Amino acid sequence: MNPGSAQVTLLSDGPPKMFTFDGAYYMDSTGEQIYNDIVYPLVENVIEGYNGTVFAYGQTGSGKTFSMQGVPNIPAQRGIIPRAFEHIFLATATTENMKFLIHCSYLEIYNEEVRDLLGADKNQKLEIKEHAERGVYVAGLSMHVCHDVKSCHELMDKGFNNRHVGATLMNKDSSRSHSIFTVYVEGMNESGSIRTGKLNLVDLAGSERQSKTGATGDRLKEATKINLSLSALGNVISALVDGKSKHIPYRDSKLTRLLQDSLGGNTKTIMIACISPSDNNYDETLSTLRYANRAKNIKNKPKINEDPKDALLREYQEEIERLKAMLVPGAAPAAVASFDIEAERAKLREEFEETMSELRTEYHKEQMSKAELAHELQVLKEQYEKVGESTTFSLSGEEKKQ
């Protein structure tokens, strides 16, 4: 491994196999170094209103959970998740002219069933649905307001204790499910515009040959489901990279369905490929490296998540500036210059007036909407203070029961 060139070379009796990534780290690399290098910029983007996903992939025992969780009582070995909590609350507390609301959810995919790790009934099976504006979401998933880093850790610990784990020959506390802890960061500026960032922290179950795990009975059933979902993830990655197929098989598993936006969609995504230094795990290591080598070629299309009305106002303002520039004498594009300049300017003035009229109408509606929103928000805050932690609220004015 060469961290300087971010190259990984796999040696065997045959020719060496070389892979190049965005970063490569030895097993003695600190959690702080890894976080600052690759995760810090992503979390900054989430606070700005982007979606972000970090997921660890690799065989059982390769360090996925260690990379994501770390060792809580050893500062230098804290993982990505606790560092992200601290980062978010420090950044939101020191950002001027903005108000923030942080809330979280925690789910697992066990035997191809989605369960709420923080819900009243952790065995209840939840359904995945899709909405034109919200995209893919889990119906009935509980949301929990977090006021500080401690409350995030408490939710994480509660959910982690509810996860399905089991002993195998490769790990006495092997994760038998995929889990997704999501932090929602809603920010409102002084004008009332709202942007919502979302950080998905994903801990995948291990990928390995069943013959090595010694799995039987329930463990064997779990391993089969895990491998099927990871295979579906690989198929989605291959289809996205290939670019020839119009159909991307997101619906082949619950995992790929929930990660749909993270793979080729509106999300900035980081994949951490964890590998073993043991030659006994050569095949699994090669598989993981090939997996990551394909995934690095996926092209996502991230954008800031903002209120559609705010986005419309911004588009109108940009259009007005464009029309103003074209109305300036001598500023008409070359393609327009070949036509009657005065007639073209008259047309542009007409377009300008129409746009201004639409903008005034939308602005009036927006002001009314913001006034109503401010009133609803104040009412919800008062209710929240009375009821306490049993009720949460979002800046969109929607009340949610836990």
CA atoms of 225 and 43, how far apart (whole Å): 31
Give the length of the chain: 402
Amino acid symbol at 331: A
390 in a labelled binding site: no
Distance from C-alpha of 296 to C-alpha of 397, rounded to nearest angstrom: 38
192 is in an annotated binding site: no
Question: H or E stretch including 221?
Answer: helix 217-242
Q: Is 64 annotated as a binding residue?
A: yes
- Structure tokens, 314: 């911004």
State the Cα–Cα distance between residues 371 and 359, nearest whole angstrom: 18
Q: Has 256 been labeled as part of a binding site?
A: no
Known binding residue 166? Answer is no
Distance, CA of 294 to CA of 271 (rounded, Å)? 11
Q: Judge whether 63 is annotated as a binding position.
A: yes
Distance CA 240, CA 35 (A): 27
Residue 330 assigned as binding residue: no
Angle at 168 between CA 165 and CA 173, to 5 degrees: 35
User: Is 234 labeled as ligand-binding?
Assistant: no
To 10 degrees, the CA torsion angle through 21, 27, 30, 32? Answer: 30
Annotated binding-site ranges for ATP: 58-65
Annotated binding-site ranges: 58-65
